[in-house]
C-alpha cells in the first residue's frame, strides 16, 4: 500500500486557515436569465479557486480531492446553484471545518446598439464566491466587472469644446439574503446605468453619434459613478454586503483614477 | 478664472471611503541595508496607489495633487521613511480625514551561489503600504514576494527515485510596532529559510548539485512552508499583524497549490 | 445623411498593411475530434484579431464591419472551418486586397490519469490563424501551447539523488497543405510525447508515483524537447511550415530556459 | 570532477536556432540624453532575453554563462552601448555562430505640462535588441511604446458635441546605420508628435483645458497615427528598418482598434 504522507501527524501545532488549489481551469455550467424570466443552462470558461481549513494535527490536505469533487459535478452538469452543495461536499470529503470556493468566468450577454438596434455579444468577467464556516453558515457573493465609458465633468466644464473620456471598469461584489436571488444580467445592467454611457461591441455611425452625445451629456467622475452605484445598492433591500471599485483608464494620463466603497449591513 | 468642478457641492449625501490614483509609475528612493547595518539610498522602479476619503459634501477630489505631492518628495529624494509624512501631507493638501498609499517596487539583492560563492543579483517584488486614519493613527505594512523551490514530500516518499519540485512564491505582509524597524533584506531571508531550497540567478554545476540535493533533503508541502513562516513570525515580538500566502506552480499539474494564513494581534 | 469620414480621400499616399480590431471577445464554435474520428461542434471562449490592408486613397477602414462579419457567422454557428470564407468576406465587405485573422481560444481535452485511469479535463491555449493575399492565396496556421514537465538531465547526472524539474510550456505553430487536416488533439498529443512527463489535472497517489518516476527516467533539456518535436514535425509530410518555442519555468531560478526553431519548406 | 552533460554528443543531427534564457531581471545602466546633447548614466529596471545558436553535435548550451556574462558587465556598469560587445562575448564564451539579446526596460522622462509648465516624470516601456550572425554582422534595434491620446475623427464629425477619445499605445521598432545614433528621447518625441494630444502625468486645470481642446482639434484614427509616424520615419535617412504598431483602447468598445506597418529598406 502506498503511504499517505498528508495524513501524517504534524507537531508544529498550527492549524491553517486556507489550503487548496488555484487556477484550476474548468468548463462551468451557468444559468442564463431568459427574457421570460425562466433560465437556460450554458457552458462557460472558468477558473476555480478552492480551499479548506486544515486542523493542526494533519500534515497536509488531499489536493486531488478538490479536482475529484469538481469532476463529480461536471458529470452532473455543474451549475452555479450547486455552490452551497459543493462547499458541504468539500467539508465532508476533506474532513474540514471551513470551505471556500471561487469560480471566475467569462460571460456573454447580447447587447442591442442604441439606435440601429443591431445585436452583438459583449463579454463580462464575472465570479461566484462562496464559503461555509464551522457552524455550517453559508455565505454567497456575486461579482462582476463591467466596462463602461466615463466622461470628465471638469474637462467638459473648462474646455471650449470636447471633453476627455475613456474606457473604465466598474467592479461590483454583492452578497444578499440566502433565500433571494439576483441575476448577473440585472447586476450588470445596474452598473451600466451608472456610466456616462454604456459600451457596445457593435456600433454603426448613427449609434456612434448617440454614444458620443450621450457621454457628453452625462459627465461623471469616478466619484460620481461610485455614488450612483452605491445609491442603487443601498436601495436594494435584499443586499446585505457590497464592495464596489471604479477604475478609469484616463485618456490624458498613463495612470488611472480610482475609487472604492465597502459596506456591511 | 477656471471653474473648480471638484469643489462643487454634491447632494447624494454619500461620503467615499477611498478615491485617488492607481498605477502611477515613479522612481522611488529606497534605503538599502548594508553589511555593517548602516544604510544607503538607491533608486528603484515603483508603482504608486494613493487615495483619500472624500466627505459627502464635495463632488470630487483633486487628483493632480497626488502627483504634486509625489513630485515634491521626488525633488527631495523621496525615500520610504517619508511614508508617514507623505500620508499627513495627503490629508492636509486634500483636506481629508483618511489617507492611504502603496508603493510597489522591484528590489535587487545580491545572492551568493551556495558552493561556488559566485555573486549575482536577484529581483524581488516588494511593497510599502501605509495609512493614516481620522485620529491620525499611522499604520505601516511591509510586503514581499519571494520565489523559492518546493519539493513534494508525498512524491518523494512514494516514488522509487526523484520527487516533483517547482518554482513557488511565498508572499508575506507584516505590520510591526511603529517605533521598531524590519529590513526587507531580513524578511526576504526569513522567507527563503522556509523553502525546500532557495532560488539563485547564477548556479554553476557544483551549485546545481547542491540545490538539487538540498531540495530533496527538505521536502515541503505548501502547508509546511506556511507553518514554518508562521512559526518564525509568531516568534518575532515586534510583529503585530501578518498575512502570508504560498503558491506552488506544480510541475505535475497546470493548476497551483495554495495556502493562506492571516493573524492580527 | 451622416457623413462617411472613413471614406474620405487621404493625401499622404501611404497604403497601410494591416488595420483592424484586436481583443474582440467572442464565443466560437469548434469542431472537436471524437474517438471514432468523426467530429462534434462545441462552443469555446475566444479572442479575435482581424485586419485588412488599406489602400492609400482611403482615410480609414470601417471597423464595425469586422464585428458584423463575426456576427453573421455567429448566427450560423461560426466554426473554425469557416476561416477561409470569413477572410474572403472580409476582403469583399471591406474592399481590401489582403485579409488576416486570428482566433485564440481555450480548449479542454479529457485526460486519463496514467495508472488510476481517472478522467479530468485539461485546458490548452490554442489558436487558428489565417490570411488571404492579393492573389487570393489562402494560408492557415494551427497553434497550441502545451504545458508539460521537464526534468533536468544535468541535475540528475551530477546529484546523489533527485533532479530539479518544473512546469514548462511548449508552443507549436504549424501550417500544412490546404487540402489536408491536422486535429488539435493530435498536435497536442505530439507535444506531450516530447516531455519528460505529461501534465494532468487529476492524479491520485499511484499516478503521482508514476509521473515522478517517468519524469526521472526521461530527463530533457529545453534543447531536447525542441529536437524531439522538430524530429516529429520533419517526419510529417503535409507540414510545410513550423515554429516551435519551448520555455521552462526553472524551479531553481526565477528566470526561464528558452529555445526556439522555425522552418519554412 | 562533475560530468558536463551539456557537452555530450547529440545524435539527432538537429542544430538549434536559438537557445538561452528569458525574463532575467537585471539593473541596467542606460545613457540618458542631456539638454546639452551630452549624456549621463542611469540605472533602470530591465529584463533580459539572451540566446545563441547551438550546433547539432552538442546536447545543450551552458545556460549559466549568460548570467555570468551579464554579471561581468554589471561590475563595469553595464551600458547599452556595450550590446555589440556583449553579443560577441556570447558567441565566444558559448562557442556559437549566432547571438541574440533583448533588454526590455522602464525609462522615465521629464515632461512639462503644456500651460502650467509643471514638471513630472513619465515612464515608457523601451527595449534594446541586438544580434550578431555567423558572418559577425551586427544588427541593432531600438524599441519604445509611447502612450498617447487619440480622438476619433468620425465621432467628432457626426456628433453635435464631443468626440470619443481614449488612451492609445504607439509601438515603434527601428534599426539604423551602425555608425549613427538615435536617442530614445527623440524617438519618443517623434511618436508623441503623431498623437491627437500627448499624455502627461501631471496636469492642472489650465493644462487639462489645453489637452482637451488640442485633442479635439487634432482628431486621428489609428490609420492617421500610423501614416504620420511612417511619414516621419521615411524622411529619416539613417533608418533602414521600422515596424510600427498602433493600438487604441476605444472608450466606446471593450475591444481595441489596431494598425500595423513594417518596412525594410
The residue of B170, B219, B252, B255 whose CB has the most chain C CBs within 10 angstroms, and thus the best one to mutate to test that interface, is: B252
Per-residue confidence (pLDDT) for residue D3, from 0 to 100 = 84
Residues of B in contact with A228 (CB under 8 A): 12
User: Could you tell me how many CB contacts below 8 A there are between chain A and chain D?
Assistant: 136
pLDDT(D30) > 90: no
**Looking at beta carbons, which residues of chain B come within 8 Å of A2?**
158
Give the closest residue to D186 by CA, choosing from D121, D249, D142, D135: D142
User: How far does D163 lie from chain B, in Å, by closest CA?
Assistant: 21
Question: Over chain C, what is the mean pLDDT?
Answer: 94
Query: Which residue from A minimizes the CA distance to D166?
Result: A251
Cα distance between residue C158 and residue B212, in whole Å: 9
Residues 6+ apart with CB under 8 A from B145: B124, B125, B126, B169, B170, B171
Per-residue confidence (pLDDT) for residue B79, from 0 to 100: 66
Chain B residues close to A10, C-beta within 8 Å: 223, 227
Nearest Cβ partner for A256 among B17, B18, B22:
B22
Cross-chain residue pair D22–C49, CB shorter than 8 Å:
no
Q: How far is CA A215 from CA A232, B145, D221, D231, D252, in A?
A: 20, 41, 20, 34, 10
A124-172 pLDDT, tens per residue? 999 999 999 999 999 999 999 999 999 999 999 999 999 999 999 999 9
Of D4, D27, D106, the CB nearest to B121: D27
Identify all chain A residues contacting B5, using CB atoms and an 8 Å cutoff.
153-154, 157-158
CB contact under 8 A, D49 and C14: no
Q: Residue C203 and residue A64: Cβ atoms within 8 Å?
A: yes
Q: Do C254 and B122 touch (CB under 8 A)?
A: yes
- Which residues from D are below 8 Å from A253, CB to CB? 199-201, 203
For the cut 70, the answer to whether the pLDDT of residue C175 exceeds it is yes
Q: Please judge whether A223 and B61 are an interchain contact, meaning their C-beta atoms are less than 8 angstroms apart.
A: yes
Percent of chain D having pLDDT more than 70? 97
Give the model confidence (pLDDT) of C50-63 as tens digits.
999 999 989 999 99
Q: Name which of C50, C205, C212 to mutate to probe chain A: the one with the most chain A Cβ atoms within 10 A of its Cβ.
A: C205
Question: What are the respective helix, strand and coil percentages of chain C, to the nearest 5?
Answer: 25, 40, 30
Position C33 scores a pLDDT of 83
Subunits next to A (3 or more Cβ pairs <8 Å) are: B, C, D
Query: At residue A236, does pLDDT exceed 90?
Result: yes
* Cβ neighbours of residue A240 closer than 8 Å, sequence gap 6 or more: A175, A176, A177, A264, A265
Interchain proximity C44–A45, CB inside 8 Å: yes
CA of C94 to nearest chain B CA: how many angstroms apart? 38
Give the model confidence (pLDDT) of C101-134 as tens digits. 999 999 999 999 999 999 999 999 999 999 999 9
Q: What is the largest CA-CA distance in chain B?
A: 81
Distance of CA A46 to the CA centre of its chain: 12
**A21 contacts B255? CB cut-off 8 A:** yes
Task: Tell me the per-residue pLDDT of C226-239, one tens digit each, with 9 for 90 and over.
Answer: 999 999 999 999 99
Residue B160 to residue C203, Cβ atoms within 8 A: no
Gyration radius of chain B over CA positions: 22
Q: Which residue of B has its CA nearest to A243?
A: B17
In chain C, which residues have their Cβ closer than 8 Å to the Cβ of D23?
Answer: 254-256
Give yes or no for a contact between D222 and D259, defined as CB atoms under 8 angstroms apart.
yes
Using a CB-CB distance cutoff of 8 angstroms, which residues of chain D are in contact with residue B122? 25
Q: Which residues of D touch A248 (CB under 8 A)?
A: none
Contact residues for C5 (Cβ-Cβ < 8 A; gap 6+): C59, C60, D153, D154, D157, D158
Which residues in chain D have Cβ-Cβ distances shorter than 8 Å to B64?
A: 202-204
Min distance D264 CA to chain B CA atoms (Å): 34
pLDDT in tens, D179-217: 899 999 999 999 999 999 999 999 999 999 999 999 999
Q: B24 to chain A, minimum CA–CA distance in Å? A: 5
What is the rounded distance in angstroms from the CA atom of residue B257 to the CA atom of residue B220? 12
Is the CB of C255 less than 8 angstroms away from the CB of D21?
yes
For residue D16, what is the nearest residue in chain C, using CA coordinates?
C261
pLDDT range class, residue C80, cuts 50, 70, 90: low
Q: Look at residues C5, C3, C6, C22 and name the one whose alpha carbon lies nearest to residue C94.
A: C6
pLDDT digits (tens, 9 = 90+) for D106-125: 999 999 999 999 999 999 99
Find cell 456600433 and name the residue: A203
The pLDDT-based confidence of C39 (bands split at 50, 70, 90) is: confident
Region of residue A136 (left: phi > 0; alpha: psi -120 to 50; beta: else):
left
Contact: B108, D201; criterion CB under 8 Å: no
Which pLDDT does position B213 carry in this prediction? 98
Pick from A93-97, B133-137, D41-45: least confident: D41-45
Please judge whether B203 and D64 are an interchain contact, meaning their C-beta atoms are less than 8 angstroms apart: yes
Tell me, what's the pLDDT at B135? 97
Q: Which of A160, A163, A251 is nearest residue D167 as measured by Cβ atoms? A: A251
Higher local confidence (pLDDT), C13 or C31? C13
pLDDT at D80 exceeding the cut of 70: no
Confidence class for position C141, pLDDT limits 50, 70, 90: very high
Write out chain B's pLDDT in tens, 265 residues: 688 888 888 888 999 999 999 999 999 888 888 888 888 888 899 999 999 999 998 999 999 999 999 988 876 666 666 899 999 999 999 999 999 999 999 999 999 999 999 999 999 999 999 999 999 999 999 999 999 999 999 999 999 999 999 999 999 999 999 889 999 999 999 999 999 999 999 999 999 999 999 999 999 999 999 999 999 999 999 999 999 999 999 999 999 999 999 999 8
DSSP class of residue A63 equals T
Taking any CB pair shorter than 8 Å as contact, residues of chain B touching chain D are 2, 4, 24-27, 43-45, 64, 67-68, 71, 74, 106, 108, 118-123, 201-206, 209
Dihedral angle computed from the Cα positions of residues D222, D225, D228 and D230, in that order, rounded to the nearest 10 degrees: -70
Distance, in Å, from the CA atom of A167 to the CA atom of A222, rounded to the nearest integer, reads: 12
Q: How far apart are CA B80 and CA A159, in angstroms?
A: 38
Using a CB-CB cut-off of 8 Å, the residues of chain D touching C49 are: 258
- In this complex, do D120 and B67 lie within 8 Å of one another by their Cβ atoms? yes
CB contact under 8 A, D259 and C12: no
Residue C76, pLDDT score: 63
pLDDT at residue D29, as a whole number: 87
A121 Cα distance to chain centroid: 18
CB distance C255–D23 less than 8 Å? yes
Q: Which of B123, B206, B209, B212 to mutate to test the interface with D (most CBs of D within 10 A)?
A: B123
Chains contacting D (3+ CB pairs below 8 angstroms):
A, B, C
Examine the pLDDT at A186 and tell me if it is beyond 90.
yes
pLDDT band, very low/low/confident/very high, at C78 (cuts 50, 70, 90): low
**If you search the block for the grid coordinates 458584423, which residue do you land on?**
C68
Amino acid at each position: 500500500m502506498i503511504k499517505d504522507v498528508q495524513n501524517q501527524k504534524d507537531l508544529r501545532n498550527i492549524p491553517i486557515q486556507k489550503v487548496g488549489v488555484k487556477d484550476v481551469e474548468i468548463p462551468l455550467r451557468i444559468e442564463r436569465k431568459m427574457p421570460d424570466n425562466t433560465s437556460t443552462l450554458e457552458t462557460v470558461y472558468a477558473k476555480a479557486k478552492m480551499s479548506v481549513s486544515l486542523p493542526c494535527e494533519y500534515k497536509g490536505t488531499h489536493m486531488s480531492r478538490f479536482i475529484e469533487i469538481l469532476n463529480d459535478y461536471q458529470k452532473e452538469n455543474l451549475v452555479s446553484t450547486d455552490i452551497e452543495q459543493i462547499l458541504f461536499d468539500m467539508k465532508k470529503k476533506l474532513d474540514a471545518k471551513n470551505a471556500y470556493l471561487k469560480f471566475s468566468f467569462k460571460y456573454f450577454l447580447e447587447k442591442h446598439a442604441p439606435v440601429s438596434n443591431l445585436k452583438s455579444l459583449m463579454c463580462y468577467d464575472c465570479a461566484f464566491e462562496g464559503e461555509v464556516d464551522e457552524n455550517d453558515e453559508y455565505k454567497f457573493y456575486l461579482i462582476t466587472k463591467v466596462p463602461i465609458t466615463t466622461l470628465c465633468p471638469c474637462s467638459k466644464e473648462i474646455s471650449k469644446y470636447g471633453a476627455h473620456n475613456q474606457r473604465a471598469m466598474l467592479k461590483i461584489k454583492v452578497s444578499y439574503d440566502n433565500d433571494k436571488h439576483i441575476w448577473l444580467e440585472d447586476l450588470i445592467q445596474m452598473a451600466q446605468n451608472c456610466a456616462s454611457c454604456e459600451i457596445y461591441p457593435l456600433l454603426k455611425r448613427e449609434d456612434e453619434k448617440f454614444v458620443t452625445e450621450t457621454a457628453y451629456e452625462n459627465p461623471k467622475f469616478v466619484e460620481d459613478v461610485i455614488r450612483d452605484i452605491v445609491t442603487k445598492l443601498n436601495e436594494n433591500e435584499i443586499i446585505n454586503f457590497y464592495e464596489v471599485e471604479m477604475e478609469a483608464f484616463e485618456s490624458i494620463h498613463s495612470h488611472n483614477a480610482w475609487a472604492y466603497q465597502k459596506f456591511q449591513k
